[in-house]
Structure 1
Amino acid sequence: MTTPPADTAAELADALTRAMRRIRRQTMHRLEPYGITPSQARALRTLAHGCDGGAAMRLSELAERLHIAPRSATTVVDALEEAGLVERTPDPADRRAVRVVLTAAGHSALERIVQVRHEVAQDYFGPVSRPDQHSMLQALRVAEEAFEPSRTAAAPGDAVR
């Protein structure tokens, strides 16, 4: 029985999947003492990047940016609000809508998240030379850019994050 030729693209996809699992697991482990889950960290980062000059983001927009159902976003925001990291405010443009804004404690938590993400990335990619890290990043950017048009053409439920 002969073995099929190596499928480099599939092997690369598998290696990326393993890397992301390890990075996510280590990040989750390091955020645990702060009481922050990966989904909460992602929501806080999204709020920080989406809030121009401290403006609030609608809950529906947060759900859309996170690619999750509005109910799931509500659950994440409930936990963040209970921890004092965000607060809900009425949207002056639409009384039915709710906006979410980071609190001072949320900004502090975001700083810890950024630090943990940096440390985990350094631990994982530290053994890889700077030029190789740059090459990997460039290759992934090219792949992502080429993939993006096909992703928007896919059915709404097809995109997986």
Structure 2
Amino acid sequence: MSNGSEGATPGFLVWRLSMKWRVAVDRAVAPLGLTHAQYALLASLYGMHRTGLRPSQRRLADQIGLEALYVSKLARGLESAGLLERTRDPADPRAVQLALTEQGREVTAKAIGVVQGLLRQLLAPLGGLGSPRTREFTRELRTLLDAPLDPFGTTDHETEQP
């Protein structure tokens, strides 16, 4: 292990990896006028649109794991930049739907290409994107993401029965 991470806890290593990734994506998408958070919103929206969805801000927030208020703030900024449109949902006037503009689709497609290059670099030590080690790593990450966390310690997950 490098950078003094020998003996580090799994939590610290997860934090370090997430910070390494965030910083790398921030730097990579900065020439396109984006931040990592903006990229996450746009790329998720891009993927949802490709499957025919026009999500609400709330649904997109749930998809990417950000607070709805933060997604709203990001969306307003991206709307000002001409990358997405925010419109009222005809079925629910309280909800705001998001859609990429043509410029937003172009910028997002470029950003996705850049970030895919970073992902290939990150996963090269595991054998690349399609390798068995990467597939196992992805399964382990999903397991951890699906595990409930209780910051107040009111549930003892180690003693719960399945």
- TM normalised by structure 1 equals 0.73
Q: 1:34 to 1:14 in 2, by over 3 A?
A: same
Q: 1:113 deviation in Å? A: 1.3
Is the contact made by 1:55 and 1:101 (CA closer than 8 Å) also made in structure 2? no
Show the 5 A alignment for 1:5-154: 10=9, 14-51=12-49, 53-126=51-124, 128=125, 130=127, 134-147=131-144, 149-151=146-148, 154=149
Equivalent pairs counted in the alignment come to 148
- Give the letter for the 1:45 counterpart: A
Q: Within 2, Cα distance between the matches of 1:106 and 1:150?
A: 34
CA deviations 1:106-143 (Å, max 9, x no partner) are: 111111111111222334444x3637972431332332
Gaps of 5+ in 2: 1-5, 154-162
Considering fraction of residues, name the structure with more helix: 1
Structure 2 residue matching 1:68: 3-state secondary structure: coil
Give the alignment's Cα RMSD to 1 decimal: 3.1
Q: Within 1, Cα distance between the matches of 2:143 and 2:113?
A: 31
Gaps of 5+ in 1: 1-5
- Give the letter for the 2:41 counterpart: A
Q: 1:156 to 1:46 in 2, by over 3 A?
A: farther
* Segments of 4+ moved more than 6 angstroms: none
Identical residues among aligned pairs (%): 21
Q: Within 2, Cα distance between the matches of 1:92 and 1:34?
A: 33
